[in-house]
Amino acid sequence: MKIYMFAKTVVSGILKPLYRIETKGIEHLPKSGGVLLCANHISNLDPPVVGITCPRPVFFMAKEELFKAPILKWVLPHLQAFPVKRGISDRGALRTGLKILKEGHVVGLFPEGTRSKTGELGKGLAGAGFFALRSEASVLPCAIVGTYKPFRKVRVIYGPPIDFEEMRRNKVSVEEATEAIMAHIKKLINENKG
């Protein structure tokens, strides 16, 4: 945790002035308990930007390949990231994510699974819906708006938690749950463009 907090301070000191990062809606983040934080994905800078704007430490699910890179394989676990195999249903990653949520932490996800080439919101993968339905965590949508160009503003908007009680009771499919999450992210993006 010490390494995480140190990295957060350093990265914040670099990225906040460089991209004029503005945060909105942080009051929607529960101060305790499990939180599934779901954001759109437009750049490799999204995880550190969400990490520095979120007041609570965030455990990010990151593609397994990153954990094989020489420096990253040591750094990522210290930054509370955990690996996921892409293109398959990775049960180990799903179990890890549920455990972290159950322990009352924040899990950060980019439901699209990969960066958007166009900047437009893509289709969400079932993992987000799985975590939302199988945990009792608060589900918080997050929108990253802007282009990562030096001294142009990037905005990180946290929306109110999505009410998943009814969906859990009605046993909706993971696909429907993911669609609900993506609809909330899209609404935040549309409300905060420009």
What is the DSSP annotation of 17-66? HHTT-EEE-GGGS-SSS-EEEEE---STTHHHHHHHHSSS-EEEEEEGGG
State CA 55 to chain mean position distance. Answer: 13
Task: Dump pLDDT digits (tens) for 6-37.
Answer: 999 999 999 999 999 999 999 999 999 999 99
Q: How many domains does the chain have?
A: 1
Q: How far apart are CA 122 and CA 139, in angstroms?
A: 19
Q: Which domain holds residue 42?
A: 2-191
- With tokens 């009680």, the residue in question is 165
CATH of the domain at 171: 3.40.1130.10
Reported as a single tens digit per residue, the pLDDT across 74-112 is 999 989 999 998 777 789 999 999 999 999 999 999 999
Question: Which phi and psi (to 5°) does residue 10 adopt?
Answer: -65, -50
pTM equals 0.94
